[in-house]
Amino acid sequence: MIDAYLTDARWALVDSLLPGKLGDPGCHGRDNRLFLEAVLWISRTGAPWRDLPPEFGKWYTAYTRYRRWVKKGVWPRVFAALAQDPSCEYGLVDDSISWRSLRLVAPGGGDVAAELAAASTRGHEEACSSAAA
């Protein structure tokens, strides 16, 4: 059994932001919460996608979905929302999910969460560079 990182409170912050919900056009994700846990597990362990535990589903399916969400610019929104939780230990750095504290001071004295939230409206590349600063 894999330890879950997403508490109900953290899940509530991101659930409505994720594609693949009922009512969204196209295919529906079978379990967005499990998928997000899989992505966080990969980041936390540093393991290659092929080593994703079977509890999370097929590794290639998870990897493909992850790449689709990168192209759609989903991750900056997800991590801007997670940053509202002061105990969140993940952040987005140059298209890579980093396991660290998001409560850092951003350039100009702001906070990284605010920077990520503002950047998510400007586009994926700007969000990544804003978080990396």
pLDDT tens, position by position, 85-101: 888 776 655 555 654 43
CA distance 73 to 91: 14
CA atoms within 13 A on the CB side of 93: 11
If you average pLDDT over residues 45-65, what whole number do you get? 93
Judged against a pLDDT cut of 50, whether residue 84 lies above it is answered with yes
HEC string of 81-128 equals HHCCCCCCCEEEECCEEEECCCCCECHHHCEHHHHHHHHHCCCHHHHH
Amino acid identity, position 97: I
Q: How far apart are CA 115 and CA 98, in angstroms?
A: 16
pLDDT (tens digit per residue) in 12-27? 999 988 886 666 655 6
Residues in the chain: 133
* Residue, of 28 and 76, whose pLDDT is higher: 76
Q: Judging by beta carbons within 10 Å of its beta carbon (0-12, 13-18, 19+), is residue 128 exposed, middle or buried?
A: buried
Amino acid 131: pLDDT: 45
Distance between CA atoms of residues 30 and 20, nearest Å = 8
For residues 22-51, average pLDDT: 82
For residue range 100-116, what is the model confidence (pLDDT) as tens digits?
433 344 444 444 445 54
pTM above 0.75, yes or no: no
Which pLDDT value is given to residue 19?
85
